[in-house]
Structure 1
Amino acid sequence: MRKPYVLLLAFLPFLSFLLGPLSAAPARAADNGSWSVYPVSSAVAARPYFYLSADPGRTIEDKVVVANKTDRPLTFRLYAADAYNTARDGGFAVRSLGERMRGVGAWAKLPRDRVTVPGRGTVTVPFTLEVPEGAEPGDHPGAIVALDERVDDGGGSLALGVQRAVGARVYLQVGGPTLPALAVENVHIGHHQPLVPGLGDSTATISYTLHNTGNVTLEPKVRLTASGLFGRTLLTRDLKKIPSQLLPGQRVRLTERWADAPQLDRADVTLTASAIRTSESATVSFLAVPWPAVGTVAAVIAAGVWLLIRRRRGRPEGTRGTARPAPTDPRPKLSRTAGG
């Protein structure tokens, strides 16, 4: 029987470079070791990404460079794509070839869709970006991607076909009102604790959705706080496992583990997400009670009450108290005579 064949689009080589925050990004090309893709350098310096801005109805012209770092010619499928945040960790990713595009992937026009780059050489490809009249204002991130259409054997017991791609980010801002907005949604807490408080570890897993509800790219920060009965502070923490950039309209499901969670308390957990000119909080509560132990005690008490009631109902009738007539005086009564 022939092994199943799976096509795996591997954007990780360039994503490892592109995932870093903009402020720390070096001015070099997106690179996977075999080829790289980057904007043509400006008259001042090299550009790490395409930073473009235009009003609706305007057209932008620019150039992208594809560099071959191997000794043999390489042919690539060249296309523009929209960007999004991955659901797993919020990383920056781009749509695959053939997916429906709504922004940069639909508006960027390349003169050719394939390019062959000689060994140790480069090819510069001009392109235009036509912003439609009805384009929504705000950020429209994307990328210009060079995809190697050859399929490599992924190895292993399951036959996996691997395609590699490298892309240069495009940060397009369409003129008009901008609205930074952030939301914390669907907060859920899973609590695990020992049967008897103090005899084991207690942990809580906090899951939530971080949602960019505005029209600009955000660099979010999230603070986790928890308070117990009478306002006692149980936890204060700045979360690290969040996307460096949250693109407009994107939502990411994230989790945070809370070790040494309370074992006998009522906790209010608050997540506060913030970015430039926006902040939003969400609070949920949970009762830290060893329910199995409580259930066992309740069951024992209920069983005892039931046995007591049954015992009383099952007592023989003769053992119950009965009313007796009042005793009579055994002494005879003496009659009195007149004058006696």
Structure 2
Amino acid sequence: MLPTFGRLPRTRRTERTARPLTILVVLLAAALLAPVGLALAMPQSAQAIDDGTLGIRPQLESDFFHIVLAPGAAIDATAIVSNYTDAAVTLLNYAVDGQSTPQGAFALAAQADTRAGVGAWVALDAEEITVPANSDLAVPFRLTVPVGTTPGDYAGGLIIQSPPVQGETTTGNGDAALRLDVIQRQGVRIYLTVDGTASATLAHGDLSWERSGDSITFALPITNTGNTILFPVTELSIDSAIGVNDSLSFNTPESILPGATLTLRAVLTELPLIQAGTARATLQSDAGAETVSTSLVYLPWWIIAVAVLVPLLLAFASWRTTRFIRRARQAIAQVARAEQGA
């Protein structure tokens, strides 16, 4: 029988902190032939940092929200927003989906991104909140899982976003002007498990490598094809008849959410002159263990050139020698016939 959900999504120990996520979102304002540029928002993903001025955290947990619900069920929860400054602050307050970055980090989507999971299922009382100076404010919300939702792990978060802080305007060459506005964007993660049958499966692509200078970079694309959050660990072994024999570790992703794809990488430095062997990557996670391999063979260009030119030179020298001997024999024969005729 397959295992069923009824657990809390597993989180890596390295992501447990006493403070929530933080990010600085930079708004780049640029306009040509104008003294001040127009602000263009460029939101980025949230990271687990607290800058000491604003914060958001669960009311009843130390790090993130961990919720288990059945399809069609709902739960009321509360986030605590902290204002550590000496002035009241008004903040935008909204929910977003979670995502895995190509590098394997957890991120909270931008405000303008489409919301299809947790970000769409969270209902807040207000889109804007005001937190008094040096105070905490309780922000209640309701998370409702739609009927018919596919079982599995989902992730998202609550975001607090400060008003833009206008930067100074600088003028470059000509009449172009540049202004850098800053928005503070912090978030707290919501890990949701929808009850049902768990399916932990992880697909991988081909193991490839690319040499650059004195190093080789190995790449292994992976995709979480199941419905649980996975924490893959991958090791690389190099077995060679000629060259280096070594073991390497691929970069370890924080997690990989269901449906996400990322590329694991490992770097081999201090290469030998000649390499002829096999590289094997062992991928381990809750989905099991798999091994994928590729040949690892390379020669410096000058060795290849020598290997091609030497046989050609030997063949040319042999041809010249054979030709010389043939002509010498013909000359000797002509002299002999001339003497006989005399």
TM-score, normalised via structure 2 length? 0.75
Structure 2: any 5+ residue segments left out of the alignment?
A: 1-32, 173-177
Deviates more, 1:287-296 or 1:122-131: 287-296
2:145 to 121, 128, 131: 131
1:213 corresponding residue in structure 2: 225
1:174 corresponding residue in structure 2: 194
Change in CA separation of 1:317 and 1:274 when aligned onto 2, cut-off 3 Å? closer
* 8 A contact 1:8–1:163 mirrored in 2: no
2:48 to 5, 8, 16: 16
1:257 to 267, 278, 296: 267
Q: Distance in 1 between matches of 2:55 and 2:109?
A: 18
1:237 to 224, 242, 248: 248
Q: Distance in 1 between matches of 2:255 and 2:238?
A: 26
1:276, CA displacement in angstroms?
Answer: 2.6
Change in CA separation of 1:192 and 1:307 when aligned onto 2, cut-off 3 Å? farther
1:73 to 82, 88, 97: 88
Change in CA separation of 1:40 and 1:155 when aligned onto 2, cut-off 3 Å? farther
Structure 1: any 5+ residue segments left out of the alignment?
A: 18-30, 194-201, 329-340
2:258 corresponding residue in structure 1: 248
1:35, CA displacement in angstroms?
Answer: 0.8
* 8 A contact 2:167–2:180 mirrored in 1: yes
Aligned-pair Cα RMSD in Å: 3.5
1:192, CA displacement in angstroms?
Answer: 4.9
Identity of aligned residues (%): 25
Change in CA separation of 1:192 and 1:73 when aligned onto 2, cut-off 3 Å? closer
Change in CA separation of 1:149 and 1:116 when aligned onto 2, cut-off 3 Å? same
Change in CA separation of 1:284 and 1:108 when aligned onto 2, cut-off 3 Å? same
Question: Does 2:175 correspond to 1:165?
Answer: no
Amino acid at match of 2:65: F
2:133 to 119, 123, 132: 119
1:309, CA displacement in angstroms?
Answer: 5.2
2:154 corresponding residue in structure 1: 140
* 8 A contact 2:44–2:109 mirrored in 1: no
2:17 corresponding residue in structure 1: none
Q: Distance in 1 between matches of 2:222 and 2:111?
A: 27
Greater Rg over alpha carbons, structure: 1
1:316, CA displacement in angstroms?
Answer: 11
Amino acid at match of 1:165: R
Question: Does 2:51 correspond to 1:32?
Answer: yes
1:33, CA displacement in angstroms?
Answer: 1.4
2:74 to 28, 45, 59: 59
CA deviation map 1:52-95 (0-9, x unaligned): 011111112111221111111111111111111222x3211111
Deviates more, 1:165-174 or 1:315-324: 315-324
Change in CA separation of 1:51 and 1:287 when aligned onto 2, cut-off 3 Å? same
Q: Distance in 1 between matches of 2:257 and 2:322?
A: 71
Change in CA separation of 1:120 and 1:222 when aligned onto 2, cut-off 3 Å? same
CA deviation map 1:300-333 (0-9, x unaligned): 54356457658988999998477999x99xxxxx
- Number of residue equivalences: 300
1:268 corresponding residue in structure 2: 278
**3-state SS of paired residue (1:9):** coil
1:332 corresponding residue in structure 2: none
TM-score, normalised via structure 1 length? 0.76
* 8 A contact 1:8–1:160 mirrored in 2: no
Deviates more, 1:75-84 or 1:285-294: 285-294
